[in-house]
Amino acid sequence: MDKIVVLDFGSQYSHLICRRIREFSVYAELVPYNITYEELQKHNPKGIIFSGGPSSVYNQDAPIPESKIFDMNLPLLGICYGHQLIVDKFGGKVKRANKEYGSSLLTIDDNEKLLSGIGESIRAWMSHGDEAESIPNRFKIIGHTESAKAAAIASEDKAIFGIQFHPEVVHTEYGTKILENFVLNVCNAKQDWTMEGFIDSTVEKISKIEGNVLCGVSGGIDSTVAALLIHRAIGDRLKCVFVNNGLLRLDEEREIETMFKDNFKVNFTTIDASQKFLEKLSGIDDPEKKRMIVGEEFIHVFSQFAKENGPFKWLAQGTLYPDVIESGVSKGPASVIKSHHNVGGLPDWLELDILEPLRELYKDEVRKIAKILGVPERLFMRHPFPGPGLAVRIIGEITPNKLSIAKIASKIVEDELIEADWYKKVWQAYASVGEDKAVGVVGDERKYGNIVMVRIVDSIDAMTADWTRLPHELLEKISNRITNEIEEVTWVTYAISSKPPATIEPQ
């Protein structure tokens, strides 16, 4: 299939470029900026995009791609820092400027090719502290703002473009149209990235592997879809194991067992390891340590099961593309946001090879596959649940009291959203509890109790998210139920931080 390769220079928006391109059925992949020319050639891209980034091209340690990549005779689009790289490489000059962050009016000077079909002006999202003071010879300005005279440029001889703004974010009007112009009209990429095609190619690849596969399933859509794809490919050579780690949603262990036995014809086993997990986590308050402990204990359990019920050659997991990016294993310049137990937490002593059939996909793409595979809607529309479970929704040390509060309060949040017909409208909803306490009044007595934080967000792929503007009456009902039904809770707060700068989960 045709592919667009995005070189990652460390922008918080880099992944969104891929995400937007995939929306019009063209495969896009994020790679490190320092990928070699030879390795990039192996990707056989139809076009290349340079992402934004926090660096300045004139700094000594600025990230610079191999020089030959500029001369691959492929369409090239530079965004923000990528735009400045193009200006600098081809003989223009980049200078320090007043930092511009937010929406600006972009006036279109040339509405052919890249900026075709978007009108005379649009609101464009800026996030930069440098700008082009002069553009290279044989380049022309195709768009400007009040503060950036060369906000969009194009080569007069080649299919090379630079834009100072970010078309990948929703704040830029017609941003997806600009990317579509580049990918479809400039690169002439075929729209052959479909989930039906992904299913066929993935099943074909997996069918060729040797040995039995052990798949850890959590009841979430990711591991469920991974299991169903593998089962379609190798049948009874797959064994699914659900591990109860004691950190699940209220009564979830029974729901998951019923779901698999009633809906899917796969080999399925449940292991209750809750006591082991909670013992390992006792006294631990550091979030990264909790994630790593949960990840390693999962592997211990799977490894022991494999030895007793094997032989198994593979351990399958529902790792997604955002997991890979956030865990830093994509080897780009972006810092590690958090370790995911199914990516960053794998120990060196693991004796099973890893099979991750979904690691190229975003969450909404997985849901499309689930629908194609016939997964009931009530299952694939469940809200995402973190691999380490409530370990990352309990701030500080995990105690029986906080664990009970998190389970019951989260169930109240979900039940009320379902009752108010809001559950399917939001991406994720839960209640978190930490170390903080506050004074409340119960009856005629003062009481010192726990604070519960309710977190509800809207998102598409979990890489960015915005807090949900719920009706005040619904928030009031959630709060009243939590304080009335959970004796230890005196206060309920609502988190109104978006991602970025926050993350969706508190830890």
pLDDT in tens, 177-216: 999 999 999 999 999 999 999 999 999 999 999 999 999 8
Q: What angle do CA 380, 382, 386 make, to 5 degrees?
A: 110
Residue 236 and residue 270: Cα distance in Å, rounded? 17
Burial class (CB in 10 A: 0-12, 13-18, 19+), 419: exposed
Residues 6+ away with beta carbon under 8 Å from 115: 108, 142, 143, 152, 178, 181
CA separation (Å) from 151 to 100, 101, 247?
12, 14, 50
The rounded distance, in Å, linking the Cα atoms of 242 and 268 is 8
Q: Residue 254 and residue 267: Cα distance in Å, rounded? A: 17
Query: Domain ranges in the chain?
Result: 3-186, 195-380, 392-494
What is the rounded CA–CA span in Å between residue 416 and residue 428? 13
Which H or E run includes 32?
strand 27-32
Token reading at 499:
């991602």
Mean pLDDT value across residues 29-58:
94
Whether the pLDDT of residue 391 is over 90: the answer is yes
Separation of alpha carbons 46 and 69, rounded Å: 13
pLDDT at residue 88 is higher than 80? yes
pLDDT at res. 142: 96
Side chain identity at residue 408, one-letter code? I
Residue 348 pLDDT level (bands cut at 50, 70, 90): low
Q: Measuring CA to CA, which residue among 472, 382, 473, 474 is closest to residue 423?
A: 382
Fold identical between 3-186 and 195-380?
yes
What is 392-494's CATH topology?
GMP Synthetase; Chain A, domain 3 (3.30.300)
Which H/E stretch holds residue 364?
helix 363-372
pLDDT range class, residue 84, cuts 50, 70, 90: very high
CATH number for the domain whose boundaries are 3-186: 3.40.50.880
Question: Which residues have a catalytic role annotated?
Answer: 80, 166, 168
291-343: pLDDT as tens digits: 989 988 988 898 889 889 979 999 898 888 877 766 554 444 443 333 444 54
CA distances from 174 to 4, 109, 115, 169 (A): 20, 16, 9, 10
Q: Is the dihedral of CA 280, 284, 290, 296 positive or negative?
A: negative
Mean local confidence (pLDDT), 367-396:
89
Q: Are 489 and 483 in contact (CB under 8 A)?
A: yes
Q: Architecture of domain 195-380 in CATH?
A: 3-Layer(aba) Sandwich (3.40)
